[in-house]
Amino acid sequence: MRFRRGALAVLVFAVILAGFTGFYLREQPVPPDSIERIPTYQNEALLARAWALPEARLYGPQGYLFQQNPSTCGPTSIADVLRSEGRPADPSSVLNGSGVLKIFGFLPVGLTLDQEAEILKRNSGQQVKLLRDLSPDSFRIEIAKSNDPSRRVIVNFTRQPLFGRGHGHFSPVLGYLPSETSCSSAT
């Protein structure tokens, strides 16, 4: 009887894990209104200009980490910021001691903005400024300040309005090109 209960528990867990994995790893088509269809989104000249900015060079295209799965954008962004400051970091290590639930490399519920800020503060030992609910104009003013190599910015946004699919996302801002309205960051 105990064996059957244990086997049933393992089976239920495997089904739940398969569901999470399928949700996070499924390929989604690019909707017609996605910014991915705008030519400037993949414009090599604009990307080269953005990577040439002083703050973007700190990340370096070869040293920039990409998230292993859609649920790890928060810890990956923190690791990228720390690495841009010359500190060794990886997405798993920044979560150590955070109390965030991670199952087989996935964060089933992702991170909240408050968790991201707290984990960044704990790992960097620096002051973290948390901004919420900015208007587009206020956001542009704040992001323009990111063109300072001593400052790092991680943005939290919903992918849906930009890409026509997806959920919340964290990303470091590697550079800002204010003269470009349709492609203003190099992330």
Could you tell me the residue range of the domain that residue 127 belongs to?
2-172
- Residue 124, domain member (yes or no): yes
Give a yes or no: residue 184 inside a domain.
no
pLDDT at residue 39, rounded to an integer: 79
Q: Is 142 contained in some domain?
A: yes
pLDDT tens digit string along 107-153?
888 899 999 999 999 999 999 999 999 888 898 888 887 667 788 88
| The pLDDT of residue 27 | 59
Per residue in 31-87, pLDDT (tens digit) is 677 777 787 777 889 888 888 888 888 887 667 888 888 889 999 999 999 999 889
* pLDDT on residue 12: 46
Is there a domain that residue 39 lies in?
Answer: yes
Determine the pLDDT at residue 145.
Answer: 78
Indicate whether 186 belongs to any domain. no
- DSSP letter at 154 equals E
**Residue 75 domain flag:** yes
Domain count, the chain: 1
For the entire predicted model, the pTM comes to 0.76
The Cα–Cα gap between 107 and 92 comes to: 11
Residues 49 and 186: their CA atoms lie apart, in Å, by 9
Q: Give the CATH number for residue 66.
A: 3.90.70.30
Residue 20 placed within a domain: yes
Helices marked H in the chain: 2-25, 44-52, 54-59, 73-84, 91-95, 113-124, 136-144, 160-163
Report if residue 34 sits inside a domain.
yes
Given a contact cutoff of 8 angstroms between Cβ atoms, the answer to whether 116 and 78 are in contact is: yes
